[in-house]
Amino acid sequence: MIKIGSHVSISGGLIKAAQEALSYDSNTFMVYTGAPQNTKRKDITDLKIQEGHAFMKSHNLSDIVVHAPYIVNLASYQDDIFELAIRFLGEEIERTTALGANYIVVHPGSYTKKDLDYGIDRIAEGLNNVLDTTTKPYVLLETMSGKGSEVGFRFEQLERIISKVTHNDKIGVCFDTCHTHDSGYDIVNDFDGVINEFDKIIGLEKLKVFHLNGSLNPIGAKKDRHANIGADGNNPKGKDYIGFDAIYNIVHHEVAKDKPLILETPWISKTQNLYKEEIHLLRGDTNE
For the chain, give every domain's residue range: 4-283
CA distance 215 to 223: 9
- Average model confidence (pLDDT) for the chain? 96
Element (H, E) at 52: helix 49-58
| pLDDT above 80 (res 98) | yes
* pLDDT value, residue 286: 67
Per DSSP, 143 falls in state P
Closest CA relative to residue 29, chosen from 73, 63, 59: 63
CA distance 29 to 262: 7
| pLDDT above 90 (res 136) | yes
pLDDT mean over 84-97: 96
Closest CA relative to residue 109, chosen from 161, 171, 175, 65: 161
Cβ-count burial 41-61 (b if 16+ within 10 Å, e if not): beeeeebbbeebbebbeeeeb
Q: Is 288 annotated as a binding residue?
A: no
Q: Is 63 annotated as a binding residue?
A: no
Sign of the C-alpha dihedral computed for residues 88, 266, 60 and 204 taken in this order: negative
pLDDT mean over 222-248: 96
Q: Is 280 annotated as a binding residue?
A: no
Q: Domain 4-283 carries which CATH code?
A: 3.20.20.150
Contact in structure between 215 and 225 (CB atoms under 8 Å): yes
Instruction: List Cβ neighbours of 253 (8 Å cut-off, separation of 6 or more).
Output: 191, 195
Q: Is 142 annotated as a binding residue?
A: yes
| pLDDT above 60 (res 165) | yes
Q: Is 264 annotated as a binding residue?
A: yes
Q: Is 190 annotated as a binding residue?
A: no
Closest CA relative to residue 52, chosen from 23, 20, 24: 20
Residues in the chain: 288
CA distance 105 to 213: 15
pLDDT mean over 153-167: 98
The string of pLDDT tens digits covering residues 236-281 is: 999 999 999 999 999 999 999 999 999 999 999 999 999 999 999 9
CA distance 123 to 61: 33
| pLDDT above 80 (res 287) | no
| pLDDT above 50 (res 181) | yes
- Catalogue the long-range contacts made by 195-202 (C-beta closer than 8 Å, 24 or more residues apart): 195/253, 195/255, 197/155, 198/155, 198/173, 201/155, 201/156, 201/159, 202/155, 202/158, 202/159, 202/162, 202/173
Sign of the C-alpha dihedral computed for residues 103, 118, 72 and 251 taken in this order: negative
| pLDDT above 60 (res 288) | no
Q: Is 224 annotated as a binding residue?
A: yes
pLDDT mean over 60-88: 96
Q: Is 7 annotated as a binding residue?
A: no
Q: What whole-number percentage of the chain has pLDDT above 90?
A: 95
CA distance 195 to 202: 10
Q: Is 107 annotated as a binding residue?
A: yes
Whether the pTM exceeds 0.95: the reply is: yes
